[in-house]
Structure 1
Amino acid sequence: MTEGEGTRRTPLNRERVLHAAVALADAGSGIEALSMRKLAQVLGVVPMALYKHVANKGELLTGMVDTVVGEIDPPAPGVHWKGAVRDRVLSARRALHRHPWAPRVIESLPAPTSAMLDHLEAVIGLFRSGGLSADLTHHAMHALGGRVLGFTQELFTGSPGADAGAAAQLAVRYPRIAEIAATAAHAQGGSAVDGGCDDQFEFEFALDVLLDGVERLHRAGWTSAAGGRL
C-alpha cells in the first residue's frame, strides 16, 4: 500500500457536510459567516462536491437546523408529564444556546423541518401519555409557542442604561415600565437585555407558569367547549 492509499480522505457525506456547516456558523458570526465556498474550503473539497449532498443554501440551512434539534435530549424515563415536558424544553434551550444563530434560522423557515416535527411529536406525546386530552394539549402547545423549541422573542431588547438622560425622560412618560425595569435586581450576565433581566430565569419562570396552569386545567377536567370556561 502506498502512502497516499494509507491516508485517504474521509468520504464526504451529508452528515459530515451538515456538522461542518454548524461548526462554521458557531465559530464565525453566525449564518452570515457561512457560504458554500467557505464550507468547501473547510472540508477540503471543491464547492460543486457539496451539491451532491445539499441541493442549495436553503437545504443546507434546513439540515443544520435538524442537526441542532437532534441534540435535544429525551427526558428520563418515569418522570411525571409536567417534569418531562419541562426537561425536554430546557434541553432544547441548551441546544440552541450552543448555536446562537439557530433561533433566527428557525424563524425564517417556511415550514418545520423533519427534526422539528419529531420534537413536537415527542412533546405532544408527553402531554397525551400524561392523560391530558387532545383538546387541552392543542391549547397547551399554542401557549408554549416557540418556547417549546427553547427560545422566545424578548419584549424589550434595548439597553436601559445606554443613555441615562433618555431613560429618565422615558420614566416620566412611562412610569410603570420604569418601575418594572427597576425591579430587575436578579439580573445576571449573558442576558439578551443588557443590564436587565436574567433570560434563563425569565424563561423558566414563564415555562413553569404555563405548565402549572395546564396541570390545573387538566385536573379540573377543562375543555374548550363554551369558550373553555370551567
Structure 2
Amino acid sequence: MGEKTFREPLSRERVLAAAVALADAEGIKALTMRRLAADLGIEAMSLYYHLPGKEGLLDGLAETVVGEIDAAVSHIETAGADQDWRTRLRQRFLAAREVMLRHPWAPGLLGTRTTIPAGVYAYYDGIVATLISGGFSYRLAHRALHAFGSLALGFASEVFSPASAGGSMDVEVAEAEFAAMAEALPHLMAMAAAETHDVADPTLGWCDSQVEFEFTLDLLLDGLGRIRC
C-alpha cells in the first residue's frame, strides 16, 4: 500500500494566509471565494465553514494586516523601551508602513471596512500610552490621534486621487487626465506635475510616497513636541 499524502487541515488562519498571498500577487480584485478555493485545492463551499462569505473574508484580511502591524510594533517596542516618545512613535508608524508596503492593497481595504479589526483598539491604546508617558495630557493625546489620522497605520490619506473621481491611478494615464485640466487649474496641475513620484520611491497612492509620509510625520511630531510644554 502506498504512503498517504499529508494534507494540512483547513483552518481560518490557513485560508487568510492564502488570501493575503493571492492579494499580494494579483491585487485585491483578483480575490474571490472561488479563486481562493482553487488556490487551496478545495471546494468553494468549504470556505464558508471558516469565513462567512466575501465580506467576512475581507474583514479577516483587515484583521490579518492589523495583526502584522501589532507584531512588528511589539518587536520594536521591546527593543526600544527606553527611547523617548517621539522616537518610539516614529518607529511605530514606520513599522506599520513597512507592513502596508508589503500589502499595497491594504490601505484601500481598511478604508472600506465597516467593522473595526479587533487589534486596532489595542494598537491605538499603545499610541496614547506612549504620549502619556512622554508628558502629554489625555486632551492633547486625543488631538494628536486626530492629527495623525491614517499615518498611525502606515499610510497617508489621498489629497487628490484620480481614482476617486472615476479616473485611473496609473501614473501615465493620470498625468494625461491632469494635463487636460491644466488650463483651468494651472497652479494645482503644476504642483501635480512637479510632484509626480519617482518610480523607485515606494508609494501607496498618488499622494503617498515615502518622502511625503516621513515629511508629514516629522512635521506632526515636531509640532506636538512644541505644544507639550
State whether TM-score is above 0.5: yes
Kindly provide the amino acid, as one letter, of the partner of residue 219 in structure 2: V
Q: Give the superposition deviation at 1:157.
A: 3.5
What TM-score results when the alignment is normalised by the length of structure 2?
0.81
Matched residues in 2 for 1:109 and 1:78: separation? 35
Q: Give the superposition deviation at 1:29.
A: 2.7
Q: Give the superposition deviation at 1:162.
A: 2.5
Matched residues in 1 for 2:177 and 2:103: separation? 31
Aligned partner (choices 205, 208, 217) of residue 215 of structure 2:
205
Matched, 1:154 2:158: yes
Aligned partner (choices 104, 107, 114) of residue 108 of structure 2:
104
Q: Is the partner of 1:92 in helix, strand or coil? A: helix
Choose 1 or 2 for highest CA Rg: 1
Q: Give the superposition deviation at 1:109.
A: 0.8
5 Å-filtered alignment, 1:10-21, equals 10-21=8-19
What TM-score results when the alignment is normalised by the length of structure 1?
0.80
Aligned partner (choices 88, 92, 98) of residue 94 of structure 1:
98
Matched, 1:53 2:57: no
Q: Give the superposition deviation at 1:181.
A: 4.5
2:149 aligned partner: 145
CA contact (8 A) 2:96 2:152 kept: yes
1:94 to 1:164, Cα distance in 2 relative to 1, 3 A: closer
Kindly provide the amino acid, as one letter, of the partner of residue 14 in structure 1: R
Q: Is the partner of 1:24 in helix, strand or coil? A: helix
Matched, 1:3 2:3: yes
1:65 to 1:198, Cα distance in 2 relative to 1, 3 A: closer
Matched residues in 1 for 2:54 and 2:208: separation? 35
1:121 aligned partner: 125
- Percent of paired sites with the same residue: 42
Gaps spanning 5+ residues in structure 1: where? 220-230
Q: Give the superposition deviation at 1:179.
A: 5.6
CA contact (8 A) 2:100 2:154 kept: yes
1:56-104 Cα offsets, whole Å, 9 max, x none, are: 2212111111211222212332221111111111111111111111111
Gaps spanning 5+ residues in structure 2: where? 163-170
Q: Give the superposition deviation at 1:198.
A: 7.2
Q: Give the superposition deviation at 1:164.
A: 9.0
Matched residues in 2 for 1:60 and 1:129: separation? 37
Matched residues in 1 for 2:90 and 2:190: separation? 31
Q: Give the superposition deviation at 1:147.
A: 1.4
1:169 to 1:58, Cα distance in 2 relative to 1, 3 A: same
2:66 aligned partner: 69
Q: Give the superposition deviation at 1:180.
A: 4.0
Matched residues in 1 for 2:208 and 2:148: separation? 19
Aligned partner (choices 169, 186, 199) of residue 183 of structure 2:
169
Q: Give the superposition deviation at 1:53.
A: 1.3
Matched residues in 1 for 2:178 and 2:156: separation? 28
1:164 to 1:122, Cα distance in 2 relative to 1, 3 A: closer
Kindly provide the amino acid, as one letter, of the partner of residue 221 in structure 2: L
Aligned partner (choices 115, 134, 139) of residue 135 of structure 1:
139
1:29 to 1:178, Cα distance in 2 relative to 1, 3 A: closer
Q: How many residues align?
A: 209
Q: Is the partner of 2:150 in helix, strand or coil? A: helix
Aligned partner (choices 34, 37, 44) of residue 34 of structure 2:
37
1:228 aligned partner: none
